[in-house]
Structure 1
């Protein structure tokens, strides 16, 4: 008796092959081997991906034999357990689902061959695996999310390459990680969200530059971390009431920490 590790009944999913024909087990080549299978539950000829996956989970040693199967789901699922040295030819497979499975398992020396894959999901997976200069080569990818992953994973020494990216979400990833002096180069970024992140991370001594930002949200963020001298100026000179209040609160907090009790802000 076969021990089930998936729900046994899937009554709404027809038992047909990848071409829509009813599956006939009477003349199946799998039956002539010692492989485990079960019609409607674990079958390499079924159209339903879960049934294919169950077959290969039960019979991982069969995976190599199905890497050239005409149905892309069979090839893609077989890739998960096939011998790695059998996978390089599938880098050129016509279906991106297969190439995605290959990108997950290939050694990095082979994965680089998929950096320019026509499908973004494949390149996303590649960007999640490559390192260093191999990853940097994807910094000009046409898809912003690929470049975002590059900015998230590049070594700090290579990260300044992403400062001038056209997409603000990519630059935001850089702003979250860059250190001085490269971070200072982003003070004038054209996107408010990026400059706000810069204001959160700049050393206190460098915040004077952000105190004059045209966007009051940036100045408000700056006031949260300002030195006593800068907070005092912002409390009395900023044009926005919310910024002045934030500067007053910051100044009061600094004075409290120093044990100074006199008031510092006046309405």
Structure 2
């Protein structure tokens, strides 16, 4: 069965005609090949192979009507021609140009209308250049900021509306902020904070509503502090506490286990 990728068609869906191509002389020289390395083809990989073999031609295609052709050509064209592509209507072209330019050209793209461009920009900037992006409307952009920003900038994201952003902040923020993050409404954020707290500070989370946080507490605080968790509602927490303390008795709260037989009453 023939698929689209088996065909040689241009960006408008027409069959490619090598005889009408302005670079037809390259065919005999091995500079291009139908269905493999062709500047007329609509597939980016075939365009990429063409410009890899013919870099000197890339400048001619920065104004091509097909966005994929412009984007791939931008990866090989003369750098001095690329700044104008930062205004290209297609986000793929804008990023393809930006990634080859000095950092100062990236800064205006922090406000690019397309999230993919802003995500990519955030992934290469650092420190103060990232500060404006801490308030980006897209949660994933802010997650990238939380992963790359210096700890000194992370307080800007402590109250971020997205729990994934706050989790990343809890993993990296300065220890003086962990107590505040330990009060977060999301259990996974509190858990990330708990994992970084000293045993002494961790004790404040012994009554946390999330069993994972209590398990973290039970695994690291001093054993003499664990009596409050002997009757924890979660079996994994109880098991850990008893293994650490050596306690093997029944629950201190008094209820009998369903498998425990009642004591025999004396006969009358």
Q: Shorter chain as normaliser: what TM range?
A: 0.7 to 0.9
Shift of 1:70: 1.0
Indicate which of 250, 260, 266 corresponds to 2:244. Answer: 250
Which has the higher mean CA deviation after the structures are superposed, 143-152 or 95-104?
A: 95-104
Q: Determine whether 1:162 maps to 2:157.
A: yes
TM alignment of 1:224-235, pairs within 5 A: 224-235=219-230
Q: Determine whether 1:141 maps to 2:136.
A: yes
Q: Does the Cα contact within 8 Å between 1:103 and 1:125 map onto a contact in 2? A: no
In structure 1, the gaps of 5 or more residues are: 1-9, 252-262
* Partner Cα separation in structure 2 for residue 226 and residue 265 of structure 1: 19
* Partner Cα separation in structure 1 for residue 200 and residue 189 of structure 2: 19
Number of residue pairs aligned between Structure 1 and Structure 2: 247
Q: Determine whether 1:13 maps to 2:6.
A: yes
TM alignment of 1:78-117, pairs within 5 A: 78-117=73-112
Indicate which of 52, 66, 85 corresponds to 2:47. Answer: 52
Secondary structure of the equivalent of 1:118? Answer: coil
TM-score, structure 1 as length reference: 0.84
* Partner Cα separation in structure 1 for residue 43 and residue 57 of structure 2: 18
Which has the higher mean CA deviation after the structures are superposed, 69-78 or 241-250?
A: 241-250
Indicate which of 238, 243, 249 corresponds to 1:266. Answer: 249
- 1:57-109 CA-partner distances (Å, limit 9, x unpaired): 11122212211111111100011122222211111111111122123222211
Indicate which of 171, 176, 192 corresponds to 2:171. Answer: 176
* Partner Cα separation in structure 1 for residue 85 and residue 73 of structure 2: 11
* Aligned CA distance change for structure 1 residues 21 and 216 (closer, same or farther; 3 Å): closer
* Partner Cα separation in structure 2 for residue 23 and residue 216 of structure 1: 63
* Aligned CA distance change for structure 1 residues 133 and 196 (closer, same or farther; 3 Å): same
In structure 2, the gaps of 5 or more residues are: 251-268
- 1:196-215 CA-partner distances (Å, limit 9, x unpaired): 12122111110121102123
RMSD (Å), alpha carbons: 2.3
* Partner Cα separation in structure 2 for residue 113 and residue 100 of structure 1: 12
Q: Does the Cα contact within 8 Å between 1:232 and 1:248 map onto a contact in 2? A: no
